[in-house]
Structure 1
């Protein structure tokens, strides 16, 4: 092989490629470990409850799973739920379904102040900015916005997957 007008042996090229791959793998593993230590569940402000939600798709089973966990400002679990749903075509849809199901449960419990955390940035941004009314999933967004008006306070917050492990664990059960 010729690189910058210098003849390089195939062994040298292979060794360099393997070295780059090993460096990438080590860096990738290190960043995953650092992320797990950096991102973790954090308690809401006093008087506010936090609902972590997550959805999972199981195409081979033609099912989706939704999981949610409600905790107070001390981290005490007040409610945890998981439910099998029918298969959906898009990950965004299952994330919307779990937000809706979680809020429905919280309304039935008489909760008035809630913060909903999801690891789906697209859903959180759409709910916070009210910009999905005309989308294919607009009816789900409208249902969520309607039920969220039942709360004195209801906000939607993005959290990386590492900070949403409990809800994710429920969704994949």
Structure 2
């Protein structure tokens, strides 16, 4: 199954909020239908608008003004056998933030570009050459004095500074950039607390280079950053990927057996992008890991829990516990 969580804001155009919520639902359904995922499984659609949910379940109760829109949605839901769930707004915060981008708080393209700059994923000439692209010259074409790096393109070049200066003058801003703007921005990267109604389990797996022994560790915290529970456990021999998967699995099972299970939903964060991507896109899972990952995916969907990727810098506490665990004789859980 594939899960689509939707939220609407007035950026969809003029109209009442309920119409915007319905437009968000319809947009999600159409995106799913047109994607490659529609042929791979059913869709679970979640929305935090109770009225929209009720109208989709009972089209006859819909107001006449929005009847046509609701019928379009219901038609797709029935045709594609979509499962529709109503969830609390506190559990829909990620989609809500994306919806807010649509009303001009921060344009999505700006968010995307900033992220790519900070992650050094802009295809400048120096990066292309590193990836094997044959380029006769990697000089920045605006000045022809230095290689075209992300740092030079956006911050160091005199031509770039003229562009920045024009906008700063227009906005009435006086500023100075640090010598390493990208590194400076990354220094503010930190662990983010979960929303109300959630607990967050940061996990990590560690394996010795020769694969002879490894460990897993995790830290469970609440919305105020308070430590709820932690664990360290040895896992024996294997691979680093296996360690990351086992860390996630252990954390979910530990949470489900705890007294907090019925009161909260869970966010699991791992710094292993490969495993997080597999859990988010099951069709990409390699066959050798399917038996380990499919039960995890089932528990995530069943309990409406989430799994996110986090940078290694923000996952240091879980990393420490994982590295300590390889020397333990048995698992240690502190609550």
TM interval, shorter chain, is 0.7 to 0.9
TM-score, normalization: structure 1? Answer: 0.74
2:319 matched to 1:156? Answer: no
Cα shift at 1:59:
4.2
Cα shift at 1:134:
5.1
CA distance in 1, matches of 2:191, 2:211: 30
Query: Which residue of 85, 88, 99 corresponds with 2:235?
Result: 85
Change (3 A) 1:66 1:31: farther
Cα shift at 1:130:
1.7
CA distance in 1, matches of 2:279, 2:286: 13
- 1:125 is matched with 277
Cα shift at 1:105:
0.2
Change (3 A) 1:107 1:135: same
- 1:19 is matched with none
Query: Which residue of 41, 52, 56 corresponds with 2:191?
Result: 41
Q: Is the 8 A contact 1:36 1:162 kept in 2?
A: no
CA distance in 1, matches of 2:186, 2:202: 17
Higher relative contact order (CA 8 A, sep 6+): 1
Which secondary structure state, in structure 2, belongs to the residue aligned with residue 103 of structure 1?
Answer: helix
Q: Is the 8 A contact 1:67 1:98 kept in 2?
A: yes
Q: Which moved more, 1:118-127 or 1:34-43?
A: 34-43
The answer for unaligned runs of 5 or more in structure 2 is 1-179, 325-335
Taking only aligned residues, the RMSD between alpha carbons, in angstroms, comes to: 2.1
- 2:293 is matched with 141
Cα shift at 1:62:
1.7
Change (3 A) 1:93 1:75: same
TM-score, normalization: structure 2? Answer: 0.40
- 1:6 is matched with none
Which secondary structure state, in structure 1, belongs to the residue aligned with residue 253 of structure 2?
Answer: helix
> How big is each residue's C-alpha offset from its partner over 1:150-170, in whole Å with a ceiling of 9 and x where there is no partner?
52x211110000111110011
CA distance in 1, matches of 2:315, 2:284: 24
- 1:69 is matched with 219
The count of corresponding residues between Structure 1 and Structure 2 is 142
- 1:8 is matched with none
2:316 matched to 1:169? Answer: no
2:281 matched to 1:100? Answer: no
The answer for unaligned runs of 5 or more in structure 1 is 1-29
Q: Which moved more, 1:98-107 or 1:133-142?
A: 133-142
Whichever of the two has the greater Rg, that structure is: 2
